[in-house]
Amino acid sequence: MPAIAPWVRTHRIISFFALTYTLSWCLLPFGTFLPTGALIAALVVISIADGKAGLKQLWARIIKWDVGWVWWFAAIAIPVALLTVTIALSIWVGAEPSWGQFHPWYSVIVVVAGRMVDPLNGPLAEEPSYRGFAQPTLQSRMPLLKATAVLGVLVTIWHIPLYFIPEFGLRPIESLATFGCTFVYAWLFNHSGGSVLITLVAHTMEGSVRMAPMWSGADFGGVVVIYALAWFLAGVLVVVLDWRFWTQPSEISQSFRLTPSQ
């Protein structure tokens, strides 16, 4: 451990993504994918590079809840609004949804709560690692916009195997949604003062009501395209409409710089 610690400390992002890809993709020969690989990789890299101080810093981001009601509202409203727009446009072009997954209504609450605390699912596996660790680490080394674009590419690559595993029901066009989500989540993360909890809520809301149960046959393919484009456009809009935020020097980026263990 002492021998590799200096290298990992200097190459946090390379170490993190190399380990993330290795762990998450290690089960591909068996026809499945391990989302938790990202979380494990973050904990390993932080432990090696920054020790207990780094783990405490990550935990502080995960439980950061006092961020103002606007960002709580945004974390819930953005995914719901994009889903609503997708449904409306899909119905407008002739698709016929099935509302079975919303009955009883409280089943949605159960699904959201379960995904929030399930480390084997996407949100809890991704948010502490990608937003809690990778985003601030990249921001400490490059401008926010560039850091988010780099993270978007790396996270999209991580998702690629999912498009070819039938059990996940995803399609390549959804890579546009993944890239767009990265900008939306980075926007929420930074505006909330570095709250992983806020992005965890947004990610959980986005993934809790899946498109597959609502549509079948030819309708499903068209709806997926609309949904992917909606999230990609959302990513574009948070950049264009808040351009100054993305381009001015960010004080918060420097506050995220990890301090090597002594």
Measured CA to CA, the distance from residue 99 to residue 215 in angstroms comes to 9
Report the amino acid identity of residue 24.
S
* Type and span of the H or E element at 227: helix 218-240
Q: Which pLDDT value is given to residue 39?
A: 96
What is the 8-class DSSP label of residue 100? G
Measured between alpha carbons, how far apart are the two ends of the chain, in Å?
A: 14
Contact indicator for 225, 175 with CB cutoff of 8 Å: no
Contact indicator for 34, 152 with CB cutoff of 8 Å: no
- What is the phi-psi region of residue 52: left when phi exceeds 0, alpha when psi lies from -120 to 50, beta otherwise? alpha
Tens-binned pLDDT, residue by residue, of the chain (262 aa):
567 888 999 999 999 999 999 999 999 998 889 999 999 999 999 999 999 999 999 999 999 999 999 999 999 999 989 988 888 888 887 767 666 556 665 666 777 777 777 777 789 999 999 999 999 999 999 999 999 999 999 999 999 999 988 877 788 999 999 999 999 999 999 999 999 999 999 999 887 765 544 555 555 677 888 899 999 999 999 999 999 999 887 655 555 554 443 3
Report the amino acid identity of residue 223.
V
Residue bearing tokens 């690989």: 37
Model confidence, pTM: 0.89
